[in-house]
Chain A
Amino acid sequence: MHPCDLIVVGAGPAGLAAAATAAEAGLQVVLLDEQPRPGGQIYRDVDRVAALRGGILGKDYAEGQALTAAIRRDGIAHLQGAVVWAIEEGIRVSYTRAGQAAQVTAPRLILATGALERPMPLPGWTLPGVMTAGAGQILLKQSGVLARRAVLVGTGPLLYLIAAQMVRAGTPPLALVETQTRADLMRANRHLGGALRGWPYLAKGLAMLAELVRARVPRHTGASDIAIDGEGRAEAVNFRSGGKARAIACDTVFLHHGVVPNTQAARSIGVPHRWDAAQHCFNPVVDAWGGTAVAGVFLAGDGAGIGGAHVADLGGRIAALKVAEELGRLSADERDRRAAPLARQRRQQFAVRPFLDAAYPPYAGALAPADATLVCRCEEVTAGDIRGYAKLGCIGPNQAKAFGRAGMGPCQGRYCGLTVTALLAEANGRTPDDTGYFRIRPPLKPVTLGELAAMEDGVSDAAE
């Protein structure tokens, strides 16, 4: 068992910034990350790829190199390819790396586990060839792999970013099928004053839209009744837009209607979460430092509430300053002096969010899917099944597991949890907070007996 001052889980912008800030203050840091190279999803593989495809991916992507460079220093043990499967108070983290389980302990933990795509259950979303827009980005970033005939479906800035990157790579998407309406934009305009404080963000958005117009990528807005058709794999997207039924033949569909905090690790140690009506998701309850109700546990980055890469970076630094002060490496005055400008920048970065939330709301047809639509991909449970459980008296997601195994497959509810909560809340006339969420227990990721047997200090409590 490896002792240190601080464990950071996740090597995206929040985790990288937290680790570097803590090490600068003199802490011994262990940084655990599942991927073979640092960057998280937003800066995936940036050290290798920025030189290769920086022109396609854009300046914002290449900026990630500053964060990865900052962790190559004394005081940080970056364990790449480390899959965390249990976290216990104390704090002890169990993980698997290169076929061997191991544990690390520390008085403080910063979870920087990032975001997941908001589940977008619609007819045909489980067909091969249907992926998240994030997956499309990962293919392009890490592997230089592009879909030849793709339709982008959903709403929000990430959809424009991936479309613009595909245009730059010479393989524009066949079309964008966008679910936001003119009325959404009108409603969003009242937040425009606030959003202008974050004007560089808006300017980037307009520049991306101009790229799509120049490339003549067809955009269908206000889309509804979206369904993906195909025999054994995605072959077409069907939808209604402008009062007409439309169909676009394709091989690949990228889905996106926002991202939500990946709450699995935080929930597994009992961090309380609360429903955020504006973002249609659960957010963990954190203080201004990222501190939680669980002793010694901090959250930073999108996992603490969606804010994007810059907010994540700032949140990582702020949490690390607090940890350094608590462990006696910084005075409270010094902590506050250094945190103040970071907090100010974070407020400025957040200014654009109310506009984005209103302009690009999640697709209503996927928040409350039709009865026949699969919501739990793993156990193949439909929206109608969940509504049926409610009629039989099921009031919460944990009960729903007993009714029909929703959330009990290998993904452990990551891509159905929010839908199951929303369906039960609606059917029972209760709030999402009262309805609750799946109870998340270790192992957070599968671990084999062989990996446990190979554990350095033998199998201990977490594995029993």
Chain B
Amino acid sequence: MKTASPFLELEAAPARVRVWFDGEPLHLPPGANLAAALLAAGVAVFRHTPVSGAPRGPFCLMGACFDCLVEIDGVVRQACMLEVEEGLRIARPHEAEAGRAPV
């Protein structure tokens, strides 16, 4: 679900590392805030809600709203509280159980 990004980056990142989001490779600046980097890369939908399956993305970016939840190494975490690291494998949480995403 990567589209042309509605966001632009003021400075060109000096380096990029590869991470995987929902099975797709993305090249993000290492050490950057993960939620911000995913938004800048054109990722709009970070997860679907367990209640109705509605799409959600980052809302507060300060660790309070829990709308930017992603799954990394089997643990569901707030993307806005993480930094980009080489090789991260990021999935939308619980999509496999909901039968919605590639396993």
Contact = CB atoms under 8 A, between A and B. Distances in A.
Interface of A: 34, 36, 41, 52-53, 56, 83, 116-117, 126-132, 134-135, 138-139, 142-149, 169, 171, 232-233, 251-252, 262, 377-380, 409-411, 414-415, 445, 448
B93 to A, nearest CB: 11
> Range of interface residues on chain B?
35 or more
A415 B61 contact: no
Given A129-B44, A415-B65, A143 B32 contact: yes
Contacts of A129: 6, 44, 57
B7 A148 contact: yes
Contacts of B103: none
A447 to B, nearest CB: 11
A41 B62 contact: yes
Q: Is the interface of A mostly helix, strand, loop or mixed?
A: loop
Contacts of A251: 6
A145 B63 contact: no
B94 to A, nearest CB: 12
Contacts of B10: 53, 56, 144-146, 169
Contacts of B70: none
* 6 A-B pairs with the lowest CB-CB distances in the bound complex, closest first: A128-B57, A251-B6, A143-B36, A410-B66, A144-B10, A135-B61
Contact of A145 (B9, B60, B65, B83): B9
B101 to A, nearest CB: 15
Interface string B57-81: 1111111111101000001000001
A134 B33 contact: no
Given A135-B59, A409-B66, A411-B64, A52 B9 contact: no
A262 B55 contact: no
Given A52-B11, A143-B37, A148-B7, A232 B45 contact: yes
A149 B49 CA distance: 26
14 contacts: A36-B83, A116-B64, A126-B59, A128-B55, A128-B56, A132-B59, A132-B61, A146-B10, A148-B7, A148-B8, A377-B67, A380-B54, A411-B66, A411-B67
B40 interface: yes
B39 interface: yes
B65 A143 contact: no
Nearest to B3: A233
Contacts of A379: 51
Contacts of A380: 49, 51-52, 54
B15 to A, nearest CB: 15
